[in-house]
Amino acid sequence: MLGAIGNPFNDFKITTYWSHKKNLWRSYFQPLPVHKKEFYVQNEYLSGLKSLFTFRYHTSSSSFYSSENQEKTEIIKQSFRIQIKQHFSSKVRFQTRFEKVILNFYPIQVLKSGLNLYQDLSWYVSKSLNMQIRFSAFNTEDYDSRIYEYENDLPNVFSNFALYGRGRKWYLMLILQPSPKIKLWLKYRRIFYDGVKTIGSGLTSIPGDMRQDIHLQLDIRY
């Protein structure tokens, strides 16, 4: 693996790495070791003290073997991300992100893609109340072209949502601290999927085209 971080110009930062990995294992379904190549480059430009522009390009290559005909299929995945963080004041912050994923399957010549766009707002209403809101839209061809979207969440909760299909998502999280010893987190999320009658499968399936979640955590120190 090779990597580099540098500041070639004032207010401009570049981060990049390249790796060539080989999974040394065999199984009935994977008769040969799987190769995987990755390349990543991210550019950051700070405009004054209020705006941070980020462009990221990531590509990886992997392969799998069909259990039916034992033919090797190579997948080249490319992702493009553009992000803008804006600090309008010490209390109000915006973040806008656009991401696109492209999958190429060889030698079957299949092309799949997906995209995601979201808008974040973080507002420190007062010293004891912080409000975080996100509106998101996504459109992918299937689960293979899914896009992962990391969410702000409760302490010790990791939310890296896999978005696939077509739909919209939003959430609201309130962080309330009425006293130094009491802190409350409340999060509500709602997702709409277009053109579906059931979300999920099996025992976890949800009838309809809408999913909603409520998370609550209270921290009391004494």
Q: How far apart are CA 160 and CA 101, in angstroms?
A: 16
Decide: helix, strand or coil at residue 202. Answer: helix
Render pLDDT for 84-125 as a digit per residue (tens, 0 to 9): 999 988 899 999 999 999 999 988 888 999 999 999 999 999
| Cα dist from 166 to 7, 20, 114, 169, whole Å | 39, 34, 9, 10
160, two tokens? 């890296």
The predicted pLDDT at position 129 comes to 96
The domain ranges of the chain are 88-220
The low-confidence residues of the chain, meaning pLDDT below 50, are: 28-31, 33
81, 98 Cβ separation under 8 angstroms:
yes
What global pTM score does this model have? 0.85
92, 57 Cβ separation under 8 angstroms:
no
89, 96 Cβ separation under 8 angstroms:
no
